[in-house]
Structure 1
């Protein structure tokens, strides 16, 4: 009796072929939706890009909306939102920005779909609403932790600075897509984070100032 997978070889047979076909479709959809947008890019465009019949595509993804959801999940799998790790927040953000430069097609897809999703009936609207809500909360919480250990500069409100990081990242990333030679996303993000976060070498913002009166 044949098994679906082996410990070393992974998935085999029809399951492997199905997974490979779906990946081809998703890559094609990334290219089509990234260049034309979801509204203008058609199922036929994706099928043509993948080199398959439209009926074959619809066998894997019965509707265009289901294909879009799968594309967004695929994007998150390839380019996940990883910033966090407490004391190393700045380093992780900068490294993720550098990693994103290696998948410009996914960044283009994200930017195009994010812009389109502002319309009420767009199938990706809920995805982006939840994503931004999550990121605002996560980044603000990371900054609150840094404030608790004296690593956030005085006067910085984590509830405002967290969403600012999200907005800056998306905005400068769009500028990078338009003019990659003149825009440095990692350095821009680091410059802002250095303004609000105190490096470990500098010392704690919560340390009391020395009394200069001499008394």
Structure 2
């Protein structure tokens, strides 16, 4: 009979290799997307560009839609790992979100394409993903705004859930304008919104500064 410990390790080897392969694909998709765009980035085109067979991509992700969702989910996870910690404020999140968006424009472009895809009839998987994503982000931003109220950095006469939705809408809209022609100043726009959310006495001080 085979040693159970050896049996387990033999299973972990291929499993770990499969996870690494999956991660490699996720990491390389954006470069292909930047070059080929949404319509040109089929599973087969991605496979040819990164040296992975079409059956392997189908095995790991099933469809192009699921692959793109996993790319976006992974980048969200990485961003929140670095930006959202115990010491972060909503102001920190504004700064880091703006910098991240401009540093990885292909990610913003893919996000916009997939949100548009989710709004079309029949794309329930994408719709469910983005509904959950925005709900999670609103909850996190609402929590940061509540902490800002306690610290005296956010005015107390506003509904925080609506303010969180407004921040998300501003970030997405400014990002779209910046992608189109580069004229929108994402960071300045978000910082203006931050100033509008501050108590009146701080708004004057920030404007003077």
For the criterion TM > 0.5, the same-fold answer is yes
CA 68–77 in structure 1, closer or farther in 2 if over 3 Å, else same: same
Larger radius of gyration: 1
Answer 1 or 2: which has greater helix percent: 2
State the superposition RMSD in angstroms: 3.5
Report the Cα distance in structure 1 between the residues aligned to 2:142 and 2:99, rounded to whole angstroms: 22
Paired position in structure 1 for 2:127: 125
Q: Does 1:89 align with 2:120?
A: no
Alignment equivalent of 1:159, drawn from 161, 180, 183 = 161
Task: Please give the TM-score of this superposition, normalised by the length of structure 2.
Answer: 0.72
Partner of residue 54, structure 2:
54
- CA distance in 2 between counterparts of 1:141 and 1:55 reads 43
Deviation at 1:157, TM superposition (A): 2.9
How many Å separate the matches in 1 of 2:45 and 2:185? Answer: 33
Change (3 A) 1:162 1:197: same
Gaps of 5+ in 1: 5-12, 204-215
For structure 2, the residue ranges without an aligned partner over 5 or more in a row are: 1-5, 204-209
Deviation at 1:163, TM superposition (A): 0.9
Q: Which one of 127, 134, 137 corresponds to residue 135 of structure 1?
A: 137
TM score, norm. by length of structure 1:
0.71
Correspondences of 1:1-215 after superposition (within 5 Å): 18-31=18-31, 36-37=37-38, 41-80=41-80, 82-83=83-84, 88-122=89-123, 123-153=125-155, 155-180=157-182, 182-198=183-199, 202=202
Equivalent pairs, count: 194
Q: 1:22 to 1:202 in 2, by over 3 A?
A: same
Flag the 1:116–1:188 CA change in 2: closer, same or farther, 3 A: same
